Amino acid sequence: MSENKNLVEIKHLKEYFNVNVGFFKTKPLKAVDDVSFTIKKGETLGLVGESGCGKTTVGRTILNLYKPTAGEIWYDGKLIKTKEDIHEFRKKATMVFQDPYSSLNPRMTVSDIIGEPLDVHNLCSSKEERRERILELMNYVGLNSEHASRYAHEFSGGQRQRIGIARALAVNPEFIVCDEPVSALDVSIQAQVINMFDELQDKLGLTYLFIAHDLLVVRHISDRIAVMYLGKMVELADANEIYDNPLHPYSKSLISAVPIPDPKIARANKRIVLSGDIPSPLNAPSGCPFRTRCPYADEACAASMPEFTEVSKDHFVACHHIEDVSKIQTKIVLN
């Protein structure tokens, strides 16, 4: 259901954290290092990668929960820069957090949790209007009106995440950053919550940045998928294109690790196992950050970071050895 208009544009985003490494010495930890992408109106962009690759930091920096070290964040054609811009932006953009247990205040009732954004932004003119809006939001996410006076600890993980989603919808946003919203839930509940995200997108015309490490979940919900490694974006393409024709060696390895329910197909698919551990972002390798684990790495990879270039229509990759890597077939049949 995506339109051609870009709703979110991220240009050369950087987020560095200064870390103490000795007596009065600090060193920048490059959590996000020169990342650029766009999200079209009504689209879901999936963002995947190993733990610690910077994908959650991208989401939080876009919403200015972390002040960007460098780069530009454009929303609906407007640069988000001043405090006023950020305040207005937060009425249109919001976040669903990863852990439904720690992201809800245990001292507040469900009604107060969902109603808090309404109070912060003065969106309701009377108590009655506020109450009706809260009940409407609860109905959106499948909660009953009698749940309004209960506390978060009385609910299961899936129900708590629904409360978090209702809170995110309170300001009537256009754009939602979903930070691994199902990773803390049981598998049986994950499908329900993912389907709810789909339904809400169709009903309310939402745009998502969907951050996750489960590639099957991401493929189900995303229009396009971006792959991150150690603060850098290494590949970006249509969801099916990433699965059928991954071009970066890291993407190939990730997709080869996706579990397949059919034993015959699973045996036929060759798993690409990477050597070594992911380096620390505090001491990232020179040039391409993936070179220490890449079978194709050479001097060129150590000398410079490859440019993030469009190798075919809407398929972007950052790799010096695209020709060599693309010869290896990793197409995976997924049901």
User: What are the pLDDT digits (tens) for 145-187?
Assistant: 999 999 989 998 889 999 999 999 999 999 999 999 988 888 8
pLDDT for res 267: 67
> Of 57-61, 123-127, 303-307, where does the model show the most confidence?
57-61
If DSSP codes are grouped into helix, strand and coil, which group holds residue 307?
coil
Q: What percent of the chain has pLDDT over 70?
A: 93
101 φψ region: left (φ > 0), alpha (ψ -120 to 50), beta (else): alpha
User: What are the pLDDT digits (tens) for 215-271?
Assistant: 888 988 999 999 999 999 999 999 999 988 999 999 988 888 777 776 776 666 677
Q: What percent of the chain has pLDDT over 90?
A: 59
Residue by residue, DSSP assigns 195-248 as HHHHHHHHHHT-EEEEE-S-HHHHHHH-SEEEEEETTEEEEEEEHHHHHHS--S
CA dihedral 169, 172, 174, 178 (to 10 degrees): -10
If DSSP codes are grouped into helix, strand and coil, which group holds residue 147?
helix
User: What are the pLDDT digits (tens) for 119-129?
Assistant: 998 889 999 99
Is the pLDDT score of 3 beyond 60? no
pTM: 0.90
In this structure, what token pair is assigned to residue 189?
A: 């509940």
Sign for the CA dihedral angle at 286, 289, 293, 298 comes to negative
Distance CA 129, CA 312 (A): 51
Q: Give the strand pairing for 224-229 and 44-48.
A: parallel
Residue by residue, DSSP assigns 73-137 as EEETTEE--SHHHHHHHHHHEEEE-S-TTTSS-TTSBHHHHHHHHHHHTT--SSHHHHHHHHHHH
Residue 292: closest CA among 226, 227, 230, 235: 230
Burial code of 16-38, b = ≥16 C-beta within 10 A, e = fewer?
Answer: bbeeeeeeeeeeebbbbbbbebb
What would be the CATH architecture of the domain defined by 6-106+173-326?
3-Layer(aba) Sandwich (3.40)
